[in-house]
Structure 1
Amino acid sequence: MAQLKEPSGMQKLQVVMEAEPIRDTCRLVYVIHFMLGAGNLLPWNALITAVDYFGQLYPARHVERVFSVAYMGSSLFVLVLMLSWGGCRGKQRFRIRMNVGFCMFVASVMVTPLLDWEGNIIGSNNNNINNAVGFAAIVASVVVCGLADGLIGGSLVGSAGRLPKQYMQAVFAGTASSGVLVCILRIITKASLPQTPQGLRTSAHFYFIVTAFILLACIICCNLLYKLPTMQHYCKPILQDHHIPTSSSSRHLFWDVARKIRWPALGIFMIYTVTLSIFPGFIAENLKSKILQDWYPVMLIATYNVADLVGKSLTATYVVESIGKTTWGCIARLVFYPLFTVCLHGPKWLKTEVPMAFLTISLGLTNGYLTSVLMILTPKSVSTDEAEVSAVVMAVFLGMGLVSGSVLGWFWII
């Protein structure tokens, strides 16, 4: 008689997920995933939203573009390392990585306020040495933020990839909400504080301090998550599977899964190559408005973030059930390059606020919706044994798109 092979943890999970879904009491698991998604991107949004402050300190350094390359490059580096080390399976490894990542976030976002409070180093524009030291310290803190982003993002997306699709949607809706939150804070501070060096400094400190408190709340959330009955119900089969892949088998699994999901991986790469080469650098530095003046980049960045949140929230009600069509939609976003170029160098009527607002809304809406659709569908398009790895592979290609877009963003200077 042939010996029956015992099903793996992920195969057991498939049986669990295909059965009657357990009730998520008060949608607490959904809310925590939303909160962790917001915390994952909140430091980055706080950094790029403080554009007036850093621009006043370092007017000739193209701060947004430097930050983008430093942050995205270090984040991608960590994601690749995570795959090389054997994925992010297991409750304990998840908690450790999330705790370490959020602690790194808290430390890095407090660098700017601490440097100001301790000797006013980065605010001394009359001293070139101090100014250079301050800028180097800020960029170093951005690199640490990027490392934390890769650690948290890879763990969170990998975990959500093996759960029902609403939790992946919650993660990415949360990332979009962080941009909206920081934009609201920026509008409030810009309207209530004078646009002097001291006023800009107070505004930036406010962003970073609020961010730090939210990140502390995220630490509590990530430690609470696996104690909830819903998570224990879905993940118990996985936790009973004690097999931990070696680095060699992990690399083989990475390439095998990457081959299977090459089209959605291309799509997610294209999304962020296009988006990051335009936003925020082009919007923050290249556009001028006689009507809105210095409010113009603030309002455009807020418009983009709201549109991105709307796009990622739409997948809670409707998801295009075709990876192929979604991938073609991602490639079609290349049309934003000529459209934004025409708005910069074309007829005067195209340089006005209304066409730019329409393009910015379109950029954010398509970014949010297409990202959410691909991240929801892709882990479900492979076997359950590969769902977690496929989600992390998608995160790697997303990171590659961020780096590619950040580098291409320099061409908008011309």
Structure 2
Amino acid sequence: MDENLTRGYCQLRSPKLKKRPVTSRDGLTPPHDPCSCIYLGLVLAGAGFLLPYNSFITAVDYYQSRFPGTTIIFDMSLTYIIVAFISVCINNALVEALSLPVRITFGYLLSFVMLLIIALCDVWFQVFTHDMAYTVTLGAVAIVAIGSTVQQSSFYGFTSMLPRRYTQAVMTGESAAGLLISINRILTKALLKDEKVNTMIFFCVSISLVWLCFIVFHVTRRTEFVRFYVSLCESAGLAEDQRGITKGNTYTEEVGLVDFQEPSTGQHYGVLVIQSPTSPTDPSRQFEAKSVHPVTGQATVNDITRANEAEVTFQGQHYKMHIPKVSAFKKGLEMRYEVSRTVWPYMVSIGLAYFVTLCLFPGIESEVISCHIGTWMPILLMAVFNLFDFIGKVVASVNYDWPPCRLAVLTLCRVVLVPLLMLCATPRLSPTLKGDGWPIILSIILGITNGYFGSVPMILAPSKGGTHRHTIAVHVAGNIMTLSYSLGLTTGSGAAYLLDVWLGPHQTTDPCAISNTTQFHPYNATFT
């Protein structure tokens, strides 16, 4: 899910700062990432928090035979997203209660335990009744959602302390999770015909992958490369605390010099501005000293005190100004409004991207019936989606500064995939778009566009947070994007139920036999 869910971390880039070689406290250059081992490690570690959920929905053939005639895949998707959304809100409030390694370890342990319980108690020994097993499955998905959300927010907080490409590594890992699990399911189902045995092995492999991701993360965070950047970020955070820009203060102001521009640009030299990030144009909150040449002019700004006073020294003259008190809650709302005015196209893009995807995946795709390949069809469609979603996220790592409105319009065009893929599943007994090729092609398009348009807005928005190019605005932009992302997921999952009603009642018997197209039973089919 989203990124930048946490507070109090710093991203090691700032558009207003000149690029300088970064050195350690010993005067050494930063450690290198040999053979991109740290990058690949974070891809695998990042895959860990979505592996459990993907394990549940990719075992679609098992759950459709375990709970025939139900909306089990729809229910698992909606349960995960609602619980994850609530967990995001709680996690943002309690993010500093536990250290980052503890939070990530907690998420891994929840995932490990839930997968183990389902594999042993439901798949292998089947100790639960039918109705109880349904409830336990949804409960396990809900608990996995809590752990995954805590992990995801912590991972993005962790990578925000590293160079930018490592945040993209975790995003790639999210797609890699679905791809790994799809490969796992295809191999276990192809090699073993016994559904109980191949499903048990499938879950065991998933548990092993979660354990591997856990080990890789702890090895990665202890490397010299990671420790250097974490130490550097913590030092930067301490310097901000000393300037009064602390995480817990109810009063936070931005003090800085507007970038000097050439006269040809139409802007003045050296405009000194002291302003609140929540109200950049309020004249009661800013003092300007115009025509200060960058070479001859002198201007210094002392720290803003808790008494809401600022002292400015300009060309030997001392000035004091009073900045009115504003409640932290109001300031937070004002800042979010200011940032939203700048990043709204990215908010629309990310919301639309995941709304369309969750309308169709995994629910509607699991309802596409094939009388030729049977239960392989939903598995194949999910595998194709995950593969091209992964490719889309890799392509998104290529730097390209999309015009915001054009990005939103292209994302809106994905809505056409909803009726097209629905025609591959409705009516249930005789779909309008016949043949296995149509749903596969549409799943490819859905996957690659989701990977690309689901990543680009997240990557671009934090760097477009309006005039306030500092750590706080970056995190506010990230949180706003996370909210839009979550709204898209939740509304998309809800809309999927309406689309399922459009498909008509679920069939508890062989739909292929009913339609007289073939006597081949789709719920027991294998490749021949």
**Residues 348, 484 of structure 2: 8 Å contact kept:** yes
What letter matches 1:297 in structure 2?
A: P
The 5 Å alignment of 1:30-41 reads 30-41=39-50
- For 1:185 and 1:305, the matched residues in 2 are separated by 12
The 5 Å alignment of 1:6-405 reads 10=10, 14=14, 18-20=19-21, 22=30, 23-85=32-94, 93-116=99-122, 120-122=126-128, 130-161=129-160, 163-194=162-193, 199-240=194-235, 241-242=237-238, 243-245=246-248, 252=333, 257-285=339-367, 287-345=368-426, 350-382=433-465, 383-385=469-471, 386-405=473-492
Shift of residue 47, structure 1, vs aligned partner: 0.5
Shift of residue 53, structure 1, vs aligned partner: 1.1
**SS of match in other structure, 1:351:** coil
- For 1:192 and 1:165, the matched residues in 2 are separated by 41
- For 1:342 and 1:349, the matched residues in 2 are separated by 5
- For residues 133-189 of structure 1, the C-alpha deviation after alignment (integer angstroms, 9 at most, x for no partner) is 222111111000111121111222233345433222211211111111111111112
**Residues 88, 150 of structure 2: 8 Å contact kept:** yes
- For residues 345-375 of structure 1, the C-alpha deviation after alignment (integer angstroms, 9 at most, x for no partner) is 4996733222222211110010001122122
The alpha-carbon distance between structure 1 residues 330 and 161, as it changes in their structure 2 partners (threshold 3 A), is farther
- For 2:431 and 2:12, the matched residues in 1 are separated by 62
- For residues 90-112 of structure 1, the C-alpha deviation after alignment (integer angstroms, 9 at most, x for no partner) is 9x732121111111111111221
**SS of match in other structure, 1:40:** coil
TM-score, normalised via structure 1 length: 0.85
What letter matches 1:111 in structure 2?
A: I
**Residues 320, 373 of structure 1: 8 Å contact kept:** no
Q: Any runs of at least 4 consecutive aligned residues in structure 1 with deviations exceeding 6 A, and if so which?
A: 346-349
The alpha-carbon distance between structure 1 residues 384 and 25, as it changes in their structure 2 partners (threshold 3 A), is farther
Answer with 206-215 or 105-114: which moved more: 206-215
What letter matches 2:482 in structure 1?
A: A
- For 2:9 and 2:399, the matched residues in 1 are separated by 30
**Residues 38, 220 of structure 2: 8 Å contact kept:** yes
Aligned CA RMSD, in angstroms, stands at 3.0
Shift of residue 389, structure 1, vs aligned partner: 4.2
The alpha-carbon distance between structure 1 residues 19 and 210, as it changes in their structure 2 partners (threshold 3 A), is farther
- For 2:59 and 2:152, the matched residues in 1 are separated by 23
**SS of match in other structure, 1:61:** coil
**Residues 342, 464 of structure 2: 8 Å contact kept:** no
- For 1:150 and 1:255, the matched residues in 2 are separated by 26
The alpha-carbon distance between structure 1 residues 345 and 48, as it changes in their structure 2 partners (threshold 3 A), is closer
Greater strand content? 2
Shift of residue 207, structure 1, vs aligned partner: 2.5
Shift of residue 270, structure 1, vs aligned partner: 1.1
Shift of residue 231, structure 1, vs aligned partner: 2.7
**Residues 98, 222 of structure 1: 8 Å contact kept:** no
The alpha-carbon distance between structure 1 residues 350 and 104, as it changes in their structure 2 partners (threshold 3 A), is same
Give the total of aligned pairs.
392
**Residues 351, 484 of structure 2: 8 Å contact kept:** yes
Higher relative contact order (CA 8 A, sep 6+): 1
Percent of aligned pairs sharing the same letter: 24
What letter matches 1:101 in structure 2?
A: G
Answer with 149-158 or 363-372: which moved more: 149-158
- For 1:56 and 1:343, the matched residues in 2 are separated by 21
- For 1:271 and 1:355, the matched residues in 2 are separated by 21
Runs of 5+ unmatched residues, structure 1: 1-7, 123-129
- For 1:148 and 1:16, the matched residues in 2 are separated by 37
Answer with 168-177 or 202-211: which moved more: 202-211
The structure with the larger Rg is 2
- For 1:319 and 1:209, the matched residues in 2 are separated by 41
**Residues 396, 456 of structure 2: 8 Å contact kept:** yes
TM-score, normalised via structure 2 length: 0.67
**Residues 45, 178 of structure 1: 8 Å contact kept:** yes
- For 2:454 and 2:18, the matched residues in 1 are separated by 24
Answer with 111-120 or 141-150: which moved more: 111-120
**Residues 426, 432 of structure 2: 8 Å contact kept:** no
- For 1:44 and 1:349, the matched residues in 2 are separated by 32
The alpha-carbon distance between structure 1 residues 251 and 41, as it changes in their structure 2 partners (threshold 3 A), is farther
Q: Name 1:127's counterpart in structure 2.
A: none
**SS of match in other structure, 2:69:** coil
Greater helix content? 1
What letter matches 2:481 in structure 1?
A: M
**Residues 153, 395 of structure 1: 8 Å contact kept:** no
- For residues 312-337 of structure 1, the C-alpha deviation after alignment (integer angstroms, 9 at most, x for no partner) is 11123454544433222222211212
Runs of 5+ unmatched residues, structure 2: 1-7, 23-29, 239-245, 251-327, 503-528
The alpha-carbon distance between structure 1 residues 358 and 84, as it changes in their structure 2 partners (threshold 3 A), is same
- For 2:200 and 2:84, the matched residues in 1 are separated by 24
**Residues 157, 392 of structure 1: 8 Å contact kept:** no
